[in-house]
Amino acid sequence: MRIVLTGGGTGGHIYPALAIGKYMRQQHQQTELLYIGTERGLESKIVPDSNIPFEAIEITGFRRSISVENVKTVIRFLKGTQRAKQLLKQFRAEVVVGTGGYVCGPVVYAAAKLGIPTFIHEQNAIPGLTNKFLSQYASAVGISFEQSSSLFPKAKQVSLTGNPCATNVLETRAGEGLKQLSLPRDAEMVIMVGGSRGAKAFNDALLEMAEYLPKLAPLTFVFITGELYYESTLAKLQAMGVRQSKNLIVLPYAHQMPALLRDAKLVISRSGASSLAEMTALGLPSILIPSPNVTNNHQEANARTLVDAGAAELILEKELSGKKLYATIERIFTNKDRLSQMSEAARKLAVPDAALRIDQILQAIKR
């Protein structure tokens, strides 16, 4: 099958597309892939490392206020659609898969106008503007949260597929993450991560909580700062007399995050869709601190899905403090039943075999 993947802007859109492409290559030897993105987006850096041919079109997103830039965006959309039609014809695409971000707009729309079957995947509980627009043209829509179905009233077909990114974390073996950090196999690890680039609010909370960390023993607290905050966070901890130890490990970045998650007892993180898919796949209890700086506040909506099911605790960033975070962690670990209940609730939310489900849809819509 000749598949065009498109999605961009953030890793939350790009990695699901790559996961779909990886699975299709593994299951079907004749699969050929092309990725269409933008030069400015993160996809232009990530995709080439995945050994997938990459082509770029020029497109920007609409501003939510009245602006002259929106007129320019319409012009770019029309030009991008024409460029996408050329690329789709040259590649002889049989199916187009869009995973969100404004670059999907002209590519999926062009495919629909050419009569090429299209599938769009929505990772978040609240759909993005582009996917909502495209749903009326797509052959099929895949969702990650069951309650999202009603938000695509014009779609021809909506299926609960889950997020294909969960596949990667399930491929890791127990013990690999602990070994990576030279920790014993019985270590109880808590991971705190504010995203690949880190988050200032997370770093501030850690510094406020530093004095309480010895009380969390024998837990091993693994804090991933992000490259930007690593040196300053270490310097501030050292100034406070807090050193790295078996109780506290500070890292700038985790290259093998799936392995760490596999061995964690609790994770403290944002509530991006791919992260939540990994957590539920592993049955991993969590404390979620949604980013307030996202479209439609979709991270809070994602988080509340887990909280309502009993799989997670929620702390809004405006309410985050080291004292509150410590109290939440302590409350979870002093009630072992609570930890196991959260784990079971998370596992019940997982949608198994997401990549397989998407594969079946692609086979069904392929012309």
Annotated binding residues for UDP-N-acetyl-alpha-D-glucosamine, written as ranges, equal: 10-12, 124, 196, 299
d(CA 11, CA 13) in angstroms, rounded, equals: 5
d(CA 345, CA 296) in angstroms, rounded, equals: 26
Please name the residues in contact with 67: beta carbons below 8 A apart, sequence gap of 6 or more.
none
Question: What's 163's DSSP letter?
Answer: -
CA atoms within 13 A on the CB side of 25: 14
Strand 118-122 with 95-98, pairing: parallel
Q: Per the omega criterion (within 30 degrees of 0), is the bond before 16 cis?
A: no
Strand 286-288 with 95-98, pairing: unpaired
What angle (nearest 5°) sits at the alpha carbon of residue 216, between those of residues 311 and 166?
35
Strand 264-269 with 158-160, pairing: unpaired
CA atoms within 13 A on the CB side of 204: 9
Angle between helices 273-282 and 11-27 (to 10 degrees): 50
d(CA 195, CA 252) in angstroms, rounded, equals: 11
Whether the CB-CB separation of 118 and 4 falls below 8 Å is answered with no
d(CA 20, CA 98) in angstroms, rounded, equals: 11
Binding-site members are: 10-12, 124, 196, 299
Whether the CB-CB separation of 5 and 364 falls below 8 Å is answered with no
d(CA 343, CA 50) in angstroms, rounded, equals: 33
- Element containing residue 95 per DSSP (H, E): strand 95-98
d(CA 111, CA 36) in angstroms, rounded, equals: 12
Amino acid at 133: F
Tokens of 302: 């994602």
